Structure 1
Amino acid sequence: MTLVHLEDFHPLLLQPEKAEYIGWAPDAEQLRVGYVPGVMPGKWFNRWHQRYDIHRALIEIPLAEKRGVDALNQTHEGNPLAHMVLLRPEEEPDCLDKKRFHAINLYREKQVVVLPTDHVLTVYEDSVPLAELAEEFMLQDPQTVPQWAEISAAYRQANPQKLPATRHIHDAVELVAAGLGLLIVPLSVARYHHRKDLTYRYVEELDESAVSLVWERKFRSNEDEQIIQDFVGICRGRTAGSDRGSESLQTLKEKAAREKEEAKQKRRAANARRETRDRKARNAKNNGNVRQHQAQKGKSAPPRGSGGRKKR
């Protein structure tokens, strides 16, 4: 396998130094699926490997934050970095353009506030009321959390603070650990950036964060389109025995087992017919019925009335 020049994709990849391990190459025999940090696609990837690796190998592409749409758009020698991506629509609203992309919602998850383990709000054991965050400094654009932006508007206007420069959520998490503010993120992102000196609490009043599967609207060959729909079916919970989509490995095994059993039954039936024919022939011979015995053997019987006796 020949790898492409991955410098074109470094800003998009979560771990560009492991690109060779990822094994990405412009190979038509691969299905490349990208996912942003925090998304956990393991169950879908495992199902693909179990069912459809016989048709096309799946390559997993860990993407940097908010770079899912870019992974679909940016190409090298006509090949995109990813054919499909798992991302959060609120972070990448371009994916909602129905003229450019297909998108299906896969699941939703609660949002949490990330805070130091010694923060006063840790007195709340499970969840923090949204009102308790109105006077907290959040290390993010208020518009990314509209409900918090609304209740904190008056306080922020009276106490303006400039957001520190951050390249990505990891930088913001570092600032939370330093005690410079708090951060509201989806639960899986908080778990992904877990540290011993940080914890999180649910914020029940906030809208849940969605995770979607997105792919480009464009003409594909029937085979390529079927592969795309196979992965969509896995994400939607289609079972291995479904009559939709390509034949899975399990389906092929079951089909082979059925064909083997059918061949076995045919052999048994043929043997039974042969045994019945042989038994009738033996019975005819033992009972002295010459005509029947000769008929069983496929030979002509003596003329009627001759009885096989000699003339006097």
Structure 2
Amino acid sequence: MTGSEASPSFKLAYVPGVTPAKWVRIWNERLPDVPLTLVAVSVEEAFDVLRGGGADAGFVRLPVDRTDLSAIPLYTETTVVVVPKDHVVAAVDQVSTDDLADDIVLHPLDDTLGWERLPGQPAIERPATTEDAVDLVAAGIGVLVVPQSLARLHHRKDLTYRPVTDAPESRVALSWPEEKTTDLVEDFIGIVRGRTVNSTRGRAPAPAPAEPKAKAKRPETGGGARRKPAAGKSTGRNPRSGGSGSAKGTKRGKPRRGRS
């Protein structure tokens, strides 16, 4: 390697709520010589980071602009409502959006659910971030509907959450610039998809050397062409059988008649 060549490395972006630790661990086991750097990004800036080269790939939330970015959907998250522990919702296992009709439902600017119509009563203003909205829930201002991973990320002891059965869902995907689908990106795709180290796409193993063809063995002939048996020698057939193995000159004549 010349001094102008940079050592290989891999930058992985991820949005709040995604936990990439499992995939990073597998990467470090398979490619210990290629350091992986994590880049925490907000939902809004994730795609600009990928396009600008700030990361080789990233865990993002759909939708993804497929004009210049590739994406592999990975999983869909459960949607939950975050409420104070003494809220009536805390007494049930799950709720619907209709159950929130009398509540103020906070709608942060970094919302990831893409509501067509937000349930409940609108707040006076929208919180800047999901984290700010969680603080408002703790203050008794309203409730918050988010993907479950964000409820866990911003967990507080005085809050709890319950699934919302008919709310929009957030989907997480692995995305990267389409024109920069490098070997390292292919390696990471293989890890995320659960491929084994021997089946990672994009790293085709070198073809095995062809084995030399075995030469056909000639039948052993005892030193040449098959010999004919010598004249007068038996070929192994019974001479009494009348076959060609009988001795020559043994033709019998007619019996003589006795003189009267």
Do both proteins adopt the same fold according to a TM-score greater than 0.5, normalized to the shorter chain?
A: yes
- Alignment partner of 1:162: what SS? coil
Amino acid in the other structure paired with 1:138? V
| Aligned with 1:137 (options 90, 104, 107) | 104
Return the TM-score normalized by structure 2.
0.69
What is aligned with 1:88? 61
Question: Is this contact kept in 1: 2:105–2:123, CA < 8 A?
Answer: no
Evaluate the alpha carbon distance shift between residue 168 and residue 246 of structure 1 in structure 2; reply closer, same or farther with a 3 A threshold.
same
Q: CA deviation at 1:179?
A: 0.6
Superposed CA offset, 1:80-116 (max 9, x none):
2211110111xxx4xx222210011011110100011
Matched, 1:186 2:147: yes
Superposed CA offset, 1:101-137 (max 9, x none):
001101111010001111121111x211221012321
Matched, 1:163 2:125: yes
| C-alpha distance in 1 between matches for 2:7 and 2:79 | 38
Unpaired runs of 5+ in structure 1? 1-26, 75-79, 252-312
| C-alpha distance in 2 between matches for 1:137 and 1:175 | 11
Superposed CA offset, 1:164-217 (max 9, x none):
4x3311111101100111111111110010000111001122243210011112
Q: CA deviation at 1:241?
A: 3.0
Amino acid in the other structure paired with 1:127? Q
Segments ≥4 residues shifted beyond 3 Å: 141-145, 243-247
Matched, 1:230 2:171: no
Matched, 1:240 2:197: yes
| C-alpha distance in 2 between matches for 1:82 and 1:67 | 12
Evaluate the alpha carbon distance shift between residue 243 and residue 172 of structure 1 in structure 2; reply closer, same or farther with a 3 A threshold.
closer
Question: Is this contact kept in 1: 2:186–2:201, CA < 8 A?
Answer: no
Q: CA deviation at 1:140?
A: 0.3
Q: Percent identity?
A: 38
Superposed CA offset, 1:271-309 (max 9, x none):
xxxxxxxxxxxxxxxxxxxxxxxxxxxxxxxxxxxxxxx
Moved more, 140-149 or 110-119: 140-149
Superposed CA RMSD in Å reads: 2.5
Question: Is this contact kept in 1: 2:113–2:170, CA < 8 A?
Answer: no
More helix by share: 1
Amino acid in the other structure paired with 1:38? G
| C-alpha distance in 2 between matches for 1:161 and 1:45 | 40
What is aligned with 1:173? 134
What is aligned with 1:199? 160
Question: Is this contact kept in 2: 1:66–1:87, CA < 8 A?
Answer: no
Q: Kindly name which structure, 1 or 2, has the bigger radius of gyration based on alpha carbons.
A: 2
Question: Is this contact kept in 1: 2:113–2:168, CA < 8 A?
Answer: no
What is aligned with 2:115? 146
| Aligned with 2:175 (options 192, 201, 214) | 214
